[in-house]
Amino acid sequence: MGAIEIKENVYWVGAIDWDIRDFHGYSTKKGTTYNAYLVKDEKIALFDTVKKENYSELLHNIHQVTDPAKIDYIIVNHVEMDHSGSLPKIIDLCKPEKIFCSKMGKKALLEHFHREDWPLVEVNSGDSISLGKKTVNFLETRMLHWPDSMFSYIPEDKLLISSDAFGQHWATSERFNDEVYEPELMSHAAKYYANILLIFSPIVQKLLASVQEMGLEIDMIAPDHGLIWRKSPEKIIAAYDGWSRQETRDKAVIVFDTMWKSTEKMANAICQGLISEGISVIMMNTHVNHRSDVISEILDAKAIILGSPTLNNGILPMMADIVTYMKGLRPRGRIGAAFGSYGWSGEAVKHLNAALEEMKIELVDEEGIRVRNVPDHDALKLCVELGKKIGKAIKG
């Protein structure tokens, strides 16, 4: 795909990665994009680069707009290697006058590339530079999602170049949100938020408040991954507001692993109880659901219910993987419960309860349900009753 003009003299020159399927533990079933942007003005500025392996595509796209050697400024909104991997080659090629980055960005660039000779210029929130007819204003967004992260805003175009915020991991031939099926787009955006930014929700809330206080007029958001929000960018801003408030609905996610189907039978019975209370339920067997898809479903779920048989006085490895991943992302304001089968010792439910409490998830049943070997009808009835109890708690 070639360069695309997204605003007058502002071009997308990034790269599409159709084949990537894992992004540090996040399942990218439909690939991703590495978005870079180039502004042609009295000064030519390049905003971020792409992954090292995609350098040739970036270079080809820049060539369609200008001679890369004519680039005057490089603006590094984010140092993570999917956006800075091509930076050394681009710098050696164009020899820019200045490379603008945040204070933490300068530190990260030196730690990543060890190039003291680069013309790095630190900028802070509220600083701006002139490109000629266009201005670039900077807004630091520390820990969204790295310490170096920042936004670049071009007021003349009402364009927010938003780094990793508002992005999606989705490779498409289209570049704008109004060119694709909106429900699928929002699903990718939600998954992106759940797996990358959920832990930073309090920071997202502060950032949204700052943007509102600054009175930024935004009619386009250009993130570093996925589609550009050309139409109604306020929709994704509103979605981020809700997600960062950790708003939930009457929904439960049952995440379980099973050895000889006993724990699975218990999960089905709990599901039955929840449904009888009018609760929407998602059943997620760890053998067929990736950790990042589990977290995506948890994003708007009020209840998280975990189940595992006991193995070696603990829980099954795939459940341990999910629990570890979930702890890192810190879902808040949820209720939960644990269940599981066992052969002789039965510690799994205790471990799952402890994990839920560590995540500050309120236990609906402090003991949970343990069943020795295969559940009979009485045991399954107890599971149904637990589902009903959770359902009533969800509805308040």
> Which of the following is catalytic: 24, 213, 376, 377?
24
Bridge pairing between strands 73-75 and 45-47:
parallel
| Known active-site residue 192 | yes
> Which of the following is catalytic: 57, 80, 157, 277?
80
| Known active-site residue 24 | yes
> Which of the following is catalytic: 11, 37, 192, 240?
192
> Which of the following is catalytic: 164, 224, 277, 297?
164
> Which of the following is catalytic: 225, 264, 290, 297?
225
In total, the chain counts a number of residues equal to: 396
Shortest CA distance to 134 belongs to which of 47, 233, 231?
Answer: 47
> Which of the following is catalytic: 17, 82, 224, 297?
82
| Known active-site residue 347 | no
Three-state secondary-structure class, residue 210: helix
- Bridge partners for 164 per DSSP: none
| Known active-site residue 78 | yes
Contacts of 101 (CB under 8 A, 6+ apart): 75, 76, 79, 109, 120, 121, 122, 123, 148, 150
Write down the residue that tokens 């070997």 correspond to: 373
> Which of the following is catalytic: 145, 169, 290, 351?
145
Write down the residue that tokens 């984010």 correspond to: 78
Contact status, residue 286 vs residue 325, Cβ threshold 8 Å: no
Q: Write the CA distances from 89 to 188, 214, 225, 266, 368, integer angstroms.
A: 31, 36, 21, 56, 57
Q: Write the CA distances from 174 to 11, 14, 32, 158, 332, integer angstroms.
A: 14, 13, 12, 22, 35
Establish whether the linkage from the previous residue to 145 is cis, with ω within 30° of 0: yes
The amino acid sitting at 276 is: S
Question: What is the CA angle 84-321-270, rounded to 5?
Answer: 130
- Computed from CA positions of residues 188, 190, 195, 197, in that sequence, does the dihedral angle turn out positive or negative? positive
Q: Buried (b) or exposed (e) across 192-216, using 16+ Cβ within 10 A?
A: bbbbbbbebbebbeebbeebeeeee
> Which of the following is catalytic: 57, 78, 153, 351?
78
Q: Show which residues are catalytic.
A: 24, 78, 80, 82, 145, 164, 192, 225
